[in-house]
Amino acid sequence: MSFTYTIWFGIFGLLVGHMPGAVVGAVIGFIFDNLRHSQRRQATPEAGGFVGPLFTLLGAVAKSDGRVSEAEIAVAERLMTRMGLTAEQRAQAVASFNAGKQPEFDVTRTIAELRSWVGLRRDHAFPVLDVVIETVLSEGNPGPEKMSILRQLAFALRVSDMELMALMAMKGYAWNGGAGGTRGSRQQYGHSGGYVPPQRAPQGPDPYAVLGIDRNADERAIKRAYRKLISEHHPDRLGDLPEDMRKRAESRASEINAAYDRIKEARGFK
């Protein structure tokens, strides 16, 4: 806990009211320091607190279309290895995955737990979504059941459909009904909210989809979208996340930079 306000208020009180003023100022500063510390604790997820609900959700996603495939199990096992889970955490992850794939499992509570863990940290929301997307796309084009859970999670984590499309575009998927812009973002779900499966983009991710912008966006809008994304996805902000999730953030940051460079080259601006 930092005592910045305590010190500064104490010094100010000393200058104004000598020793009694210093005491009063230090007390007031301590109250501010304690409040700031409490807010930071609420905004910072507990290390490892995501393992149970995350793997529960992965099990639910895998089972949502009626069966759990070998590809989906392999994704979960790779995640356990890449995250460097301890033996205890791995056992918890396996048990959670099996719980999530039970018939009629309700994902609402699990998503609420992930939302609670993420808290105010949007930079933690994106790695969590990235892990779930990997399971959603493990068999190729996902069905509506998987996408429904993914979109429910994104909404709970305060991530928009457009941002979700950008995350999936970074996986090499393009979306029908638009080029990744805001006007196409509604079309790809259809009039009734149904999901139109993405198709693999032959030349890599659409840079406009990666940045979540319309192809007709002007230079100012492009730069603003880039600065916002690179700030949210920068791996240096992740702190206590496992190395695998940090690497995911680094990969996304590279994709964002590459997309921005491609657009700059095509548009001819710096």
Q: What is the pLDDT of residues 237-269, one digit of tens each?
A: 655 566 666 676 777 778 788 888 888 888 878
Residue 152, both tokens: 């429910």
Q: What are phi and psi of 153, to 5 degrees?
A: -65, -45
CATH topology for 167-176+199-270 is Helix Hairpins (1.10.287)
Domain locations along the chain: 1-43, 47-159, 167-176+199-270
Q: What is the pLDDT of residues 88-99, one digit of tens each?
A: 888 999 999 999
Band of pLDDT at residue 154, cut at 50, 70 and 90: very high
| Cβ(202)–Cβ(193) below 8 Å | no
Structural contact between residues 127 and 238, judged by C-beta atoms closer than 8 angstroms: yes
pTM of the model: 0.61
The yes-or-no verdict on residue 135 having pLDDT over 70 is: yes
Q: Which residue has the tokens 């290390």?
A: 47
Return the minimum-mean-pLDDT range out of 59-73, 82-96, 174-188: 174-188
CATH number of 47-159: 1.10.3680.10
* 173: helix, strand or coil: strand
Residue % of the chain over a pLDDT of 90 = 20
